[in-house]
Structure formats: structure tokens, C-alpha cells
Amino acid sequence: METAEHLEHLLQALLGEKGQTAAKLPPTEAERRQLLRALLNVRPAVPLAEALLAEQDRLLLSWREERTLTDCRTLTPAPLDARIFLWQGDITTLKVPAIVNAANPRLLGCFHPLHNCIDNLIHSAAGFRLRLACAALMEAQGHDEPPGGVKLTLGFCLPAAYVLHAVGPKVTDGVVTEEDRDALRACYRNCLDLAQAHGLCGVAFCCISTGCYGFPAEEAAQLAVETVYHHLSRCPTVEQVIFNVFLDRDLVLYRRLLGWPDSHLQEEPA
């Protein structure tokens, strides 16, 4: 079966679950890919037939080959510490032992179709097996993950082997409390500790809590760098920590904190 046929078959199955007809699928493959993503974004964490999951995997892995991936081993260390790196780009294209997802307390991913938060992007690129894996963890736990808590899953269709799901603090009314700061520090420490416990040599951190959770970007970056820098000595297995940024604003913040000269702040790290 060709990729286009796999896509159409999977769309028909998912639309069928919702009692909708697939007779009027979007005409272009790009639109059909978006529809697949949206349908999986909103699908509850209930089992999906293994044949359909395998079909999804084939599609996502095929589409991954179309993207430009970055190998973490090609990055240049920061002046601050030879184990710390900075990279600007889409974290779902980074080949690294583990990436960090800014998760919500339910850990099930973002249910808003096609939302461009990092939680949605990671779950969309990893595939529906990630939501099912997270649901199994949460069912076993029996309660939401608290701020500062972290869980580990496989990365499934991501180039990263694992995902560390970190629940950051949600800042209320723009006022950062000491409890918020402690929770954010805990996210970084717990991710490093889990990576150490599982023998993972590299971790890529997103900017936890600085999006819709409202933590001020500059203070969050400072806490992130300070916490990682001081905690790395306890995690000898972790040979590489990457701060992944997407916005130019965050690139400038992290470059300064990681020791690059001000005159080079606008240059992207190698």
C-alpha cells in the first residue's frame, strides 16, 4: 500500500469512529496530513487497533524522512560549560537521547486541534502511541502530575529515543511565587535525575512554563541555567544538556547566560 493509500485508509477509520463520512476528504495531501493530525489531537486516550497504529507509524516515519534533522553530536558547547549546549529550532527534529516536553498535569498532550504549543507538536510528531503510553502511566499513578513532576516515555516516531514530560508551574496573575520558582527548578533537576537513572547521555530542554503558563522568560531562563549548571555534577551519565529555544528572544537570553560575548548575541550557535 502506498503512502497516500495508508493516509486515506487511516482517515477513513478515524472519521468512522466519529460517525462521519470520508467521502469528502480534502483534495491535497497537505490538507489530509493536517486532518490526520487534528483527528489524533482530539482523540481520547482509548485503544486504537494495532493495525491502525502501525499504519500511523509508517506515515509519520516516512514524513520524518522529509524533514531536516539535527544530530545533537554536531553542536558546539557553550563557553559556560563543555556539557551544556544551545540550539534554536524545532525540538521534534532533534536527534538526541531524550527531549523534554512541557506537559500539562494530565500528561495526555494538547487536545486543541493543530495547536502550535510544544505539547501538541511533540505528541503529533511522536504519534498516538505517546498519548496511550502517558495514559497508562497516569492510570497507574491515579492522580495528576504535580508541578515539578516528570515522567519518562519512549519517543515512538520522534528522532529522540525518549520524552521526559515535565509539568511546569502555572503563574497566576503574572506574579511569580517562590513556590513557582521551586517547581521550575524541580522540573530541571528531576529531568536530569531521570536521565541519569535510565543511562541517557543527552537531554534537550524546551523553555518550560514560558508559553501559556506565563512564567517570565528571562527569569525562567536564569533559573534553568543555574539549576542545570549546579545539578549536572550529580548526573555523570548525562554528558550533554541542550537548551532548545524557538524564539529569537530566548536565543538572546540563553546566549548571554551561557557565556557567549554580547557582540555575538545575534549569531546562532553552531
C-alpha–C-alpha distance, residues 208 and 129, integer Å: 23
> Is residue 85 located within the same domain as residue 12?
no
C-alpha–C-alpha distance, residues 4 and 130, integer Å: 23
* Listed residues 49, 64, 79: the one ending a domain: 64
What pLDDT score does 265 carry? 46
> Is residue 95 located within the same domain as residue 205?
yes
C-alpha–C-alpha distance, residues 61 and 6, integer Å: 13
Q: How confident is the model at residue 262 (pLDDT cuts 50, 70, 90)?
A: confident
> Is residue 36 located within the same domain as residue 106?
no
Look over the chain and give the mean of its residue pLDDT values, rounded to a whole number: 95
> Is residue 221 located within the same domain as residue 97?
yes
* Listed residues 64, 82, 101: the one ending a domain: 64
What pLDDT score does 22 carry? 64
Averaged pLDDT, 132-148: 98
> Is residue 29 located within the same domain as residue 155?
no
Closest CA to 103 of 197, 206, 192: 206
Closest CA to 259 of 71, 75, 74, 85: 85
CATH number of residue 89's parent domain: 3.40.220.10
- Report the amino acid identity of residue 1: M
Give the chain's domain count: 2
Of the listed ranges 59-63, 151-155, 241-245, 263-267, the one predicted with least confidence: 263-267
Averaged pLDDT, 118-137: 99
> Is residue 128 located within the same domain as residue 171?
yes
> Is residue 17 located within the same domain as residue 89?
no
Q: Nine-digit cell at 218?
A: 528571562
What pLDDT score does 44 carry? 98
Q: Nine-digit cell at 140?
A: 497507574
> Is residue 100 located within the same domain as residue 143?
yes
> Is residue 53 located within the same domain as residue 151?
no
> Is residue 39 located within the same domain as residue 90?
no
